[in-house]
Copies of this chain bind each other. A is one copy, B any other.
Amino acid sequence: MADPRAGEQEDPLRSWRVLREPYYVDPGGQVEAFEAACAAGSPVLLKGPTGCGKTRLVESMAWRLGRPLVTVACNEDLTASDLVGRWMIDGQGMRWRDGPLALAARFGAICYLDEIAEARADALVVMHPLADTRRALVLGARNELLAAHADFLLVASYNPQHAGGTQALKASTRQRFCAIACEYPPPELETDIVSREGGVDRALAARMVELARRTRALGLAADTALEEGASTRMLVRAAQLVREGLPPRRACLHALVEPLGDDSEVLGALRTAAELAF
């Protein structure tokens, strides 16, 4: 059985290193909580809506801690083997290939399970021994118990608005994490971000932020067909469309309104709001 390190002189985590410092402004205490959990050896769970900056926070922490960031885009097809690794056929027989979780645990990286609630709850069970005091990964197919590297850190994110239904995390999974609640940035900070990342002046950014906040209020109202309001990410997109020459009203239609849904009543209300705003 070939050693998984044999023939891989190169840095196995090379493509996962964060090379430039990401732009991230802490809206209040998130970095501190993240660092404490990390120092306590606890996995970290980020809860918050789509596009509010969870991934940026993780990238920023990876940069600060100087650790590679191995990202897994969770989805319903993800199996335990996808996370842990599997045997692959080769000219000389079978060769073991670490999955992202084993890779991060073996060589010391942050393993980031993006949108963890999209994964089937039972596939996640394999990370339980990694996420408690055992800090070990069972590689069943190798009959190996892999003790995690000291720099290994498990981070996961999800959107609690979507995960309330059947896709909820198991209690036995949730309870292995320290959880940090994330929200859209407060208006002043969000205006700064839109202006800086989208390349428009603060006045226009502020009007766009105001429009986005109205869509979020609509999304929270239980009786509308709108699942969620416009995110910070969408605001940056709208600003960029303006920077590329579209008038603000059309930019907001394409970047803030049309992507939100297909229900004709909701779209009508949103279009009117965009037209009144610009």
* Chain A residues close to B by CB (< 8 Å): 12, 15-16, 29, 32-33, 35-37, 39-42, 45, 47, 50-51, 55, 70-77, 79-80, 82, 87-94, 97-100, 103, 114-115, 118, 120, 122-123, 125-126, 128-129, 132-134, 138, 140-141, 143-145, 159-160, 162-164, 168, 170-172, 174-181, 227-228, 230-231, 233-234, 237, 240-241, 243-246, 250-251, 254-255, 258-263
Contact A140–B82 (Cβ < 8 Å): yes
Contact B254–A179 (Cβ < 8 Å): yes
- Residue from B93, B97, B125, B128 within 8 A of A89 (CB atoms): B93
- Residue from B51, B73, B144 within 8 A of A129 (CB atoms): B73
List 13 extra interface pairs beyond A163-B262, A164-B263, CB under 8 A: A12-B143, A36-B246, A36-B251, A50-B171, A73-B125, A74-B125, A99-B140, A100-B143, A159-B171, A162-B172, A174-B260, A178-B237, A179-B258
The 18 listed contacts between A and B (C-beta, < 8 Å) are A15-B145, A37-B254, A42-B255, A50-B175, A55-B134, A82-B140, A87-B88, A89-B89, A90-B94, A97-B143, A99-B140, A118-B125, A164-B262, A175-B228, A175-B260, A178-B255, A178-B258, A179-B254
Contacts of A39 in B (CB 8 A): 244-245
Residue of A33, A36, A163, A177 with most chain B CB atoms under a 10 A cut-off: A36
